[in-house]
Amino acid sequence: MSILANKDTRLLVQGITGKEGLFHTQQMAAYGTNVVAGVTPGKGGEWVLDGKVPVFDSVKIAAEATGANATVIFVPARFAADAMFEAADAGIPLIVCITEGIPVQDMMRVRNYIDRKDVRLIGPNCPGLLTPGEAKVGIIPGDIAIPGNVGAVSRSGTLTYEVLYALKQKGLGASTCVGIGGDPINGTSFVDVLAMFEDDPQTDKVVLLGEIGGTDEEQAAEFIATKMTKPVAAFIAGQTAPPGKRMGHAGAIIQSGAGTAADKIKALEAAGVRVAKHPEELPDLLG
């Protein structure tokens, strides 16, 4: 089994008629993902992808009509919180939000709400999920990874692509790749994904791609040290970042001496994780 998404995933796309939504829907469908519906308020009754995918006015109606069990969100930041609320209210168990630039206050409301629901949110501001050979939910290029036994979890989109391709070049495949996003408040943490990989019989080893800011990597190190039996290799981006300056993601900022690359590397190494100095070293560290 893979984690989160596989060939049986029935995906709907919120914002399917927008430029980004339609483009990536085409890419996901071409990869083999089972895209069963789209949602754009006011455009219910239309069809996209040459009449193959129906468009509905609401997530609830789309889910009832198609049996969708996952959704990916490509809507502008000002509408993204409402899109996540709508998906959660419709009972969609897996919500993947690609949208970046969502205000922190919006995400605080979303997180408070979904924590009371039986749903899993990936993102926001993330590349989504890729289960090589089965399904892609989001924007990770399908051709940069091959099926295999390495689980990958990352806060950085482009770094994810680089490492998946490096693994492929060495003949190493991925079980599932999860981009959790780099915002200060998101739906799924490193620890959440590591726990899924630990329980997944098709994942034998794990790559963790972190960056400066926050304490997620330190919490991951504690989980690895106490709960994981599978080997983990890691890379931390932003090792030369100056304190107090945001580097890329909204969450990638060192504040009050916390969240430095050195602190994260120290915690991971103390947990037995092999930490690469450069991303391309990761395949060799996995052995």
User: How confident is the model over 243-275, as pLDDT tens digits?
Assistant: 655 555 555 455 555 588 999 999 999 999 999
Mean predicted confidence (pLDDT) in 124-144? 97
Output the pLDDT for position 285.
Answer: 96
- Output the six-digit token pair for 104: 């922190």
Output the pLDDT for position 245.
Answer: 57
Quote the strand ranges of the chain, DSSP E. Answer: 10-14, 34-39, 47-48, 53-56, 70-73, 94-97, 120-122, 128-131, 135-138, 147-154, 174-179, 205-211, 232-237, 274-275
Q: Which residues contact 201 (CB under 8 A, 6 or more apart)?
A: 1
Indicate which residues carry an active-site annotation.
249
Output the pLDDT for position 184.
Answer: 92
Residue type, position 28, single letter = M
pTM of the model: 0.94
- Output the six-digit token pair for 264: 């994260």
Output the pLDDT for position 239.
Answer: 76
User: How confident is the model over 29-77, as pLDDT tens digits?
Assistant: 999 999 999 999 999 999 999 999 999 999 999 999 999 999 999 999 9
User: How confident is the model over 75-123, as pLDDT tens digits?
Assistant: 999 999 999 999 999 999 999 999 999 999 999 999 999 999 999 999 9
User: How confident is the model over 209-242, as pLDDT tens digits?
Assistant: 999 988 999 999 999 999 999 999 999 998 766 6
Output the pLDDT for position 259.
Answer: 80
Q: Are 93 and 122 in contact (CB under 8 A)?
A: no
3-state secondary structure of 143: helix
The mean pLDDT value of the chain amounts to 94
- Alpha-carbon span 29 to 49, nearest angstrom: 9
Domains, the chain, in order of start with CATH, read 10-122 (3.40.50.720), 140-286 (3.40.50.261)
Mean predicted confidence (pLDDT) in 173-191? 96
Output the pLDDT for position 255.
Answer: 52
Mean predicted confidence (pLDDT) in 173-181? 97
